[in-house]
Amino acid sequence: MIDLDAYFDRIGYAGPAEPTLEVLRELHLLHPAAIPFENIDVLLGHGIDLDPAAIDDKLIAAQRGGYCFEQNNLFERVLTKIGFEVEGLIGRVFWMAPPDAPPPPRTHRALKVRLDGEAWLADVGFGGAVLTTPLRWIMDEPQATPHEPFRLRQVGQEVLLETKLEAWTPVYRLSGETPEPIDYEVGNWFTSTHPKSKFRQVLMVARTTPEARYALLNNRLTIRPVGGPAERHTLGTEELIYALPEVFGLNASADWHETLAWVVEQGA
């Protein structure tokens, strides 16, 4: 179950609840602008509960953010409730990985939406490179978004998502197999608990609006305006505590402060 009215209020959507491409595009744009990507609970050692009620309490009622296993779980249930045909996907993240890096585990959840005989990639849970519009499920064709261009490429039995920065850059590679719920549980367990998981090592927070991308890596704040040069700022503890609500819409509770001070000590 999902409370659509509460979700629509959370992301600032006032349109119809109908399974159309226009609705899908509008929700996909508004979601990452309102619900930030963040791994604060992982750094605090609280773990990530994938029960739908827990996700709704956190991302909607508590005005928090989350990562892909939470974000796309919520988005899938919203789209399904509206009447879209939605299929879950799972993949390996290659974003900013060295070319010779070994294959990573499958730790990213995304969605395929079928509408009027066409398939679309939907994904509101990929941090600072999140899609802000669904992509047509077609290969080798660059597709414009409100931010950078993206494209899909067939690589064996998998589909690779790339984005155009200075050059085409890999983002993640989606499995050709339909995942089972246990696949998300295992991926979430690795991401939130394994000592080699990057989510256990650094603070990551991101929010993408139609005007800009905002991203925190530990205490380094990067702002990438659409069509403009990037700005980078190194934050102290008090500045970081201020930036979380002002930039990302996250109120830093008192039990976060010790971890945020540690984040500043680690630097970016």
Query: pLDDT (tens digit, 9 = 90+) per residue, 186-220?
Result: 999 999 999 999 999 999 999 999 999 999 999 99
pLDDT of residue 148: 95
Are 205 and 37 in contact by the 8 Å Cβ rule? The answer is: yes
Which of 218, 213, 214, 206 minimizes the C-alpha distance to 266?
A: 218
The pLDDT value given to residue 268: 64
123 is catalytic: yes
Is 68 annotated in the active site? yes
Q: Is residue 110 part of a domain?
A: no
Identity of the residue numbered 238: E
Q: Of these residues, 116, 123, 140, 255, which one is catalytic?
A: 123
pLDDT of residue 166: 86
Q: Which amino acid is at 174?
A: L
Q: Which of 31, 41, 56, 68 is catalytic?
A: 68
Q: Report pLDDT for 101.
A: 83
Q: Is residue 233 included in any domain, yes or no?
A: yes
* Residue 251 belongs to a domain: yes
CATH number of the structural domain spanning residue 256? 3.30.2140.10
* pLDDT at residue 98 in the model: 81
- The strand ranges marked E within 58-211 are 85-93, 106-115, 118-122, 135-136, 150-155, 158-164, 168-174, 204-208
CB atoms within 10 A of CB 145: 16
Q: How far separated are the first and last CA of the chain, in Å rounded?
A: 39
**Number of structural domains the chain divides into:** 1
Q: Which residue is catalytic, options 28, 31, 108, 147?
A: 108
Rounded Cα gap, residues 224 and 106, in angstroms? 28
pLDDT at 252: 82
pLDDT given for residue 16 in this prediction: 97
Domain range enclosing 213: 200-266
- Is 108 noted as a catalytic residue in this protein? yes
- Confidence (pTM): 0.96
Which run of H or E residues covers position 38?
Answer: strand 37-38
44 belongs to a structural domain: no
Q: Which residues, given as ranges, of the chain have pLDDT below 70?
A: 268
> Does some domain include residue 7?
no
- Rounded to the nearest 10 degrees, the angle between the axes of helix 68-82 and helix 21-34 is 150
* 166 domain residue, yes or no: no
Whether residue 208 lies inside any domain: the answer is yes
Q: Which residues pair with 143 in a beta bridge?
A: 150
Residue 91 three-state SS: strand
Residue 64 included in any domain: no
Residue 266 phi/psi, 5-degree rounding, is: -70, -35
